[in-house]
Amino acid sequence: MKVPIIRISFSEEDKRFINVNVKISEVLDSGILTMGKYTREFEDLCCRFVGSRYAISTGNCTVAMEIIIRALGIEGRSIIVPTNTFMATAYAVMQSGNRVVFADSNRETLSLCPQDLRKRINGDTTAVILVHIGGIVSPQYYEIKKICEENGLHLIEDCAHAFGCGIDGKKAGTLGAAGAFSFFPTKVVTTAEGGMITTDNKDIYNKARMIRNHGKNPDMGNRMSEFGYNYRLSEITAVIGVQQIRKAAQIVDARMGIAKIYDRLLADNGYVRPLSIPSNTTSTYYKYVVFLPEDSDRSGIKMTMQEKYQISLTGEVYADLCHTEPVWQKYTYCGKLRNNGGKVDCARWPDCGCGDLQEGFPEAAYLSKHHICLPLYPGMTEEECAYVVDSLLRTVKDMASVSTSTEGS
């Protein structure tokens, strides 16, 4: 049996909805190829699904995050980001003219560690980005929110993994000042490329719409009143978005059903431990995370699963932490080039500290080395899930036996 990393499935019904002879032709005939009726419908459907007052579609999640920061009026400040995230979160901070300050994670939540967050707050800290890693809203969300309130910090959500997730009945994208979603092909719902901002804040909404569209202000006859750029979504992409959001509940249910199968098959197995999902949170399982035994060879396990069992395991969340990326040898944490003389092209250097390499994230380091993610997507059968679990347990058991016999020889 062969189990791929992902299957991106569009049913015949889906294809009929997106049919080039109907919807796409309609868009082409209208002459409105961007920011038309399907873009508005896509945004409206996202509002309803997420439960936000406003939604603004964008070209991708990275620019959605950047737009939120700009709409909040943050510039030349520091923003705290977990080192255990995709680099796009950090890039959005740098692209908006701010400095990244990394923080450690809690190995049991995959998310920001509140205790370390407190330590990272300094005089110019203005915001915290809470990343819902793997499609899980941290059970420590309320503590993180309180820290932000006590220190007058904006709480921004990176919801790239978390479409449909929530805590205590409230969905990701409504837990902070604003949230940024991704519709990349691997995500819970996809438009191939695309992003979305959700917020209940009218000022953020109005500013974000202008920044997305070159800074044009509709109240001033589309004169440029904001520093914007072309961050728009095309109408053709929005057509796919409408189809995906209309069936989002079905997609979410399917993912949760597959996760339950994994939960049952992995219960009390004695070798690996699935990440525990708190009872007051709802996960749509962008990733199904499994912790390996302490001394496991993850690369060897993944290779054996691929070569012996033809099972492709997905990427981790994350194997390479942001603060370890080689980019920092060339750039500072505010996105300025380091020159050969050791100085930095930053007006505030060296007082800002943007040139000092950031280190010391032990919990995130542990997490990065001790987990894998199992394939999970709509259409997976129980037979496939059972094959994945059986192959994984056999692999871990066999490698543990080899390790034990080697130590004893």
Q: CATH number, domain at 76? A: 3.40.640.10
Domain with 205 in it: 12-247
The closest alpha carbon to 14, from 259, 248, 285, belongs to 248
Cβ–Cβ < 8 Å for 278, 139:
yes
Q: Print burial letters for 119-155: b (CB count within 10 Å at least 16), e (below 16).
A: ebbeeebbbbbbbbbbbbbbbbbeebbebbeeeebbb
| Cα–Cα distance, 370 to 107 (Å, whole number) | 10
- 388 domain residue, yes or no: no
Amino acid identity of residue 220, one-letter, is M
- 122 domain residue, yes or no: yes
What pLDDT score was predicted for residue 336? 85
| Cα–Cα distance, 348 to 344 (Å, whole number) | 9
- 340 domain residue, yes or no: no
- 76 domain residue, yes or no: yes
Span 55-94, pLDDT tens digits: 999 999 999 999 999 999 999 999 999 999 999 999 999 9
Span 26-63, pLDDT tens digits: 877 777 878 889 999 999 999 999 999 999 999 999 99
What pLDDT score was predicted for residue 20? 47
Q: How far is CA 282 from CA 144, 290, 327, 396, in A?
A: 18, 18, 35, 29
Q: How many domains does the chain have?
A: 1
Mean pLDDT, the chain, integer = 92
Output the six-digit token pair for 294: 């302490």
- 293 domain residue, yes or no: no
* pTM of structure: 0.93
- 259 domain residue, yes or no: no
DSSP 149: H
First to last CA, the chain: 36
- 116 domain residue, yes or no: yes
- 347 domain residue, yes or no: no
Backbone dihedral angles phi then psi of residue 344, each to the nearest 5 degrees = -125, 140
Burial of 256 (0-12, 13-18, 19+ CB in 10 A): middle
The stretches in the chain having pLDDT less than 70 are: 9-21, 340-343, 347-352, 355, 401-409
